[in-house]
């Protein structure tokens, strides 16, 4: 009951120590400090910085996408809020140019809605995804709000509300010229949103790209799936959902706290994280600043987590991981049955990583079995050899292997 409050007390107790460690690392490393000339100063500075980074708070990073290069020409990019909802902002990254010919080409590019996961990390985790897509597309993205910052007066947020948000965003952008990319967790609510729109006779997006998501977690279950299936529903409700402390706007709201999610992330590969931090220390001692800076950038993002609304989290556990209502054809959203077979005018591309330890092989591909109304010629699949979960939407494999397939797929159905 008081776990979140105890965590906040721990943070407050650690704050002076982290400030002291930050100051110590600078005193023993700054070129103008006499302390940096002492024997062993580099080791002391490295130790202080490691202590600082282990204990500090990690705020939500910025997207920081200010320009994109297209065919060797740099274009300014401005991040704009399109729709602001209590639990999500719809952002657009708008490209600008003064050249009339280039402006016409930019306007003709397909519109893409990237649905980021609401599953611990901020949407900035998809920074590389967005920046790469901007070369050839008009890009929108869902930017989910940390639930501890949402006052209780805004009401609860369920998985059904997530589906409704996606439908509102699709309608606002315009489904007839839109392509939707869902990364990981949102493959389920995105498929539900489009299915319901199709069942009502509404226009649906021209294409769906579903990447590493839990459409059917009975296929190749992973450690994450096993935990959700083995523990009873009440266990998640009583052990992982806690009220937000009084020092946040969302005081009293029940959430799955980000610090608990982060502990789970680290627990999946503790040895890798320990080795990474040890390598960071060694790089600082040796003066290998490039590798040290890469470590900082990665963990600034990885350690920045948000609280999930408790209702939404528990809905996801029950509907997606325990009862498998979507693949069984038994999921009702606000009284309407989700029927993926009703989708007809939308092409489908599913993408999986060969080494994905979060969404196992076959879990995303299962969407093809459900979307029986999509002609076989409009159904495509890609398994990325050697890629883990993050490799299918970020990093070298995303840019060199996955993105060309996604770009060509969207271009094929943008005409």
Quickly count: other Cβ atoms within 10 Å of residue 348's Cβ: 24
Residue pLDDT, tens place only, 313-359: 999 999 999 999 999 999 999 999 999 999 999 999 999 999 998 89
Burial 280-305 (b: 16+ CB within 10 A, else e): bbebbbeeeeeebeebeeebebbbbb
DSSP state of 41: H
Amino acid 1: pLDDT? 60
Q: What are phi and psi of 205, to 5 degrees?
A: -60, 155
Q: To the nearest whole percent, how much of the chain has pLDDT over 90?
A: 68
Amino acid 357: pLDDT? 87
Rounded distance between C-alpha atoms, residue 140 and residue 301, angstroms: 20
Amino acid 77: pLDDT? 96
Residue pLDDT, tens place only, 32-71: 888 888 899 899 999 999 998 988 888 899 999 999 998 8
Which residue intervals of 143-221 are DSSP H helices?
159-173, 187-199
CATH class of 67-227+307-413: alpha beta
Amino acid 103: pLDDT? 82
Rounded distance between C-alpha atoms, residue 370 and residue 194, angstroms: 13
Per-residue pLDDT of the chain (415 residues; tens, 9 = 90+): 688 988 888 888 888 999 999 898 999 988 888 888 889 989 999 999 999 898 888 889 999 999 999 888 899 999 999 999 999 999 999 999 888 878 888 889 999 999 999 988 899 999 999 999 999 999 999 999 999 999 999 999 999 999 999 999 999 999 999 999 999 999 999 999 999 999 999 999 999 999 999 999 999 888 888 888 889 999 999 999 999 999 999 999 999 999 888 887 777 778 888 898 898 889 888 888 889 898 888 888 888 899 999 999 999 999 999 999 999 999 999 999 999 999 999 999 999 999 998 899 999 999 999 999 999 999 999 999 999 998 999 999 999 999 999 999 999 999 7
DSSP state of 59: P
DSSP state of 321: I
Amino acid 371: pLDDT? 97
Residue with tokens 């606002």: 172
Residue with tokens 């502990």: 263
Rounded distance between C-alpha atoms, residue 112 and residue 129, angstroms: 11
This prediction's pTM: 0.92
- Single out the residue of 408, 361, 397, 318 nearest to residue 137, CA to CA: 408
Amino acid 31: pLDDT? 84
Domain boundaries, the chain: 1-57, 67-227+307-413
């Amino acid at each position: 009951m008081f776990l979140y409050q105890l965590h906040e007390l721990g943070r407050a107790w650690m704050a002076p120590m982290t400030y002291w460690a930050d100051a110590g690392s600078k005193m023993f490393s700054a070129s103008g400090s006499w302390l940096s000339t002492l024997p062993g100063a580099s080791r002391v500075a490295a130790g202080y910085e490691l202590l600082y980074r282990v204990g500090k708070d990690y705020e939500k990073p910025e997207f920081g996408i200010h320009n994109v290069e297209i065919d060797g020409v740099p274009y300014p990019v401005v991040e704009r809020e399109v729709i602001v909802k209590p639990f999500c902002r719809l952002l657009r990254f708008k490209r600008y140019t003064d050249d009339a010919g280039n402006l016409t080409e930019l306007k003709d590019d397909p519109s893409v809605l990237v649905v980021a996961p609401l599953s611990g990390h901020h949407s900035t985790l998809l920074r590389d995804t967005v920046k790469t897509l901007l070369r050839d597309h008009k890009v929108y993205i869902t930017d989910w709000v940390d639930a501890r910052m949402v006052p209780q007066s805004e009401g609860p947020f369920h998985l059904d509300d997530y589906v409704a948000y996606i439908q509102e965003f699709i309608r606002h952008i315009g489904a007839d010229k839109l392509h939707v990319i869902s990364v990981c967790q949102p493959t389920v609510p995105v498929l539900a949103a489009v299915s319901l729109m199709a069942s009502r006779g509404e226009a649906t997006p021209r294409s769906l790209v579903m990447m590493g998501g839990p459409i059917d977690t009975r296929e190749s279950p992973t450690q994450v799936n096993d935990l959700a299936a083995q523990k009873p529903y009440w266990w998640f409700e009583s052990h992982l959902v806690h009220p937000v402390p009084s020092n946040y706007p969302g005081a009293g709201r029940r959430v799955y706290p980000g610090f608990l999610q982060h502990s789970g992330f680290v627990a999946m590969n503790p040895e890798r994280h320990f080795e990474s931090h040890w390598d960071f220390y060694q790089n600082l001692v040796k003066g290998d600043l490039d590798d040290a800076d890469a470590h900082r950038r990665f963990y600034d993002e990885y350690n920045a987590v948000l609280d999930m609304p408790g209702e939404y989290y528990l809905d996801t556990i029950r509907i997606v991981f325990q009862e498998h209502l979507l693949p069984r054809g038994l999921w009702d959203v606000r009284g309407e049955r989700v029927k993926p077979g009703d989708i007809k005018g939308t092409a489908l591309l599913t993408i999986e990583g060969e080494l994905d330890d979060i969404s196992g092989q076959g879990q995303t591909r299962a969407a093809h079995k459900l979307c029986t109304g999509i002609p076989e010629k409009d159904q495509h699949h890609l398994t990325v050899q050697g890629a883990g979960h993050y490799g299918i939407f970020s990093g070298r494999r995303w840019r060199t292997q996955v993105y060309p397939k996604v770009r060509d797929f969207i271009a094929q159905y943008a005409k």
